[in-house]
A and B are shown apart, each in its own frame.
Chain A
């Protein structure tokens, strides 16, 4: 095995047309075509999907664990952002 395995690519599989692409793992590859082929061979051997995206891992911008406080916790006490917070008058019926 070589110690140079190329770049890391993130793989997203779409199960059926119209459904979202779901992240399922990553592969090593040296170019776009190889990344797509490797993703096909590693992640769709058992009929897992009908379409693939591969994205260079370095192209993904991610939040970091230190961001949890400022990014996500302020939403905790804002229950009025959920539709269930609001009582719907009887006259409206089903929305």
Chain B
């Protein structure tokens, strides 16, 4: 793998994670728990979609084979997607959507703050813009987790259930491959090992406030770095890609 291929893989991975998360969150549009919250989550989905678009545009440019961001989004199959497994997990109830979001927001704020210092000026620029957005997303999701944990018996048990489903997908966020190794040497990529203790500390504090206990050891799922996914991604892509695949030349 040369460094251009590594940069493409890296940018694609980040773009895919943003795109699939935005697609998942946008499923809530019109179905939020109440109007203001519906609008809040739709805003967040749109921020993340915007980041995904910038990243996929840059990935297309790095690849230099004439593919556009739309081509990357709509004409790749499951095995060619490299989004983190956690973002493709089903929305479930609002506790699950918010806990998934809290895990990701905490990771993303640490990650994009570091990426803003990248030697690659395009990635650094996208990251710097994202940091402000993510700071707000995190404030939003973290406050929901504290509310659920300290709310009613039902909200606490739903949060616990969400935790039991999602925790196994958090380990993979820190997995690094040859792509990372090559780009860390060039001061382009973020060393995920350095983020892990910071993420764990913040999440432990949040979960303690929400009265959730983190198990000592858990089996952690992985596979997305190799394009291996859970059963959900295929359905997401089917819905997202139907229109452009049926009418590839459609414009609006």
Contact = CB atoms under 8 A, between A and B. Distances in A.
Nearest to B30: A1
Interface residues of B, number: 14
B148 to A, nearest CB: 11
Interface string A6-33: 1000000000000000000001111101
A31 B43 CA distance: 20
Interface residues of A, number: 17
Contacts of B40: 37-38, 41
B154 to A, nearest CB: 13
A31 B139 CA distance: 14
Contacts of A45: 43
B143 A34 contact: yes
Contacts of B143: 33-34, 37
Contacts, number: 36
B36 A27 contact: yes
Given A30-B147, A33-B143, A34-B143, A41 B34 contact: no
A42 B147 contact: no
Q: Nearest 10 CB-CB pairs, A to B?
A: A38-B36, A41-B40, A5-B34, A27-B36, A33-B143, A2-B33, A41-B39, A41-B43, A2-B34, A28-B36
